[in-house]
Structure 1
Amino acid sequence: MEFREFRNRTTREANTSPYPPMELTPKEKDLLRQLAKNLVAVNVEEFEEFLLDNNGVLPEHQWEFVRRDEHVDAVVRSMACVASVLPNDPVAKLPTRVQV
């Protein structure tokens, strides 16, 4: 894949990609849509758990502090926690990051 020549950001339209459009089959489009729906559902569920069940406090045994930037703390889900809950799920191997 080649990069398109970057133009001055101020002259580009907002939210445009420097990459050429991908050609996807209808099946690939359906799979990507389903993946997006699944990712949204999982993240909304986790946010509701964080907000409602844990009163806005992250369980320390499931999350690891990464860094603090002004008033924002960045944490990642502990890989040991994810592996124990979802040992055969390939999505479980993806990093999860929360900023609070």
Structure 2
Amino acid sequence: MPLASVGSSWGAAASHGRLSVTPSEPARAGRHADHPFVGATVAEVERGLILATLNHCGGNRTSAAKILGISLRSLHNKLTSYSAAGMAIPAPGPR
């Protein structure tokens, strides 16, 4: 089941039951084809992973934080900063 596009230039897709975060077409410009994260900042990769995981969990923040190995508070703080930057954040899902 494909997941919605996340962040400003990152997308997510489910592949064989595993979550794969890859840059969308605009983000790929100037990046090495064999290494999609080359040229991306750590913040971009982190944001893509967090938002893709949240989409994968249907917006469930508790599940996403567990998968990511971070506290719920850390996830909340990241999502607040992404929202303040004008990014669409998935609505909270069932707990």
TM bucket (normalised to shorter chain) is under 0.3
The alignment's TM-score, normalised by the length of structure 1, stands at: 0.24
| Bigger relative contact order, structure 1 or 2 (CA pairs below 8 A, ≥6 apart) | 2
Bigger-Rg structure (1/2): 1
